[in-house]
Amino acid sequence: QVQLVESGGGVVQPGGSLRLSCAASGFTFNNYGMHWVRQAPGKGLEWVAFIRYDGSYIHYADSVKGRFTISRDNSKNTLYLQMNSLRAEDTAVYYCAKGAGYSFDSWGQGTLVTVSS
């Protein structure tokens, strides 16, 4: 069955950087687009970024454009999110999600990122 396992979360100071990883298994990773979606504590879901199955097409939410970079290594079945210039408002649980057409059909358990001094 599909399994997505995020890692790399933690506490970081404002202006700092963090790289999240999402290890995928149970499906042919290089056939599917992948997303990052985040959820601030007690708040709703916010789409963050998408990367096409081959990495050739990438889109970001305006709130992270220029600061976050999504990438993937199909040889390692792993999705990444490089987060730079972090702000307090980036504090959230970050989920990776498998794309299925225009929906998100499988989700990881999430990794918590806390931006605080």
Partner 1 sequence: QSALTQPASVSGSPGQSITISCTGTSSDVGGYNYVSWYQQHPGKAPKLMIYDVSKRPSGVSNRFSGSKSGNTASLTISGLQAEDEADYYCSSYTSSSTWVFGGGTKLTVL
- Using CB under 8 A, list all residues that contact partner 1: 35, 37, 44-47, 50, 59-62, 95, 100-110
Beta carbon of residue 16, minimum distance to partner 1 (angstroms, whole number):
26
Query: Which residue's CB is nearer to partner 1, number 35 or number 72?
Result: 35
β-sheet with 18-25: strand ranges across: 3-7, 18-25, 78-83, 68-73
Q: How many of the other CB atoms lie within 10 Å of CB of 18?
A: 20
Q: Minimum CB separation from partner 1 for residue 104, in Å? A: 6
Q: Which of 85, 104, 114 is nearest to 22 (CA)?
A: 104
Q: Which is nearer to partner 1, 41 or 75 (CB)?
A: 41
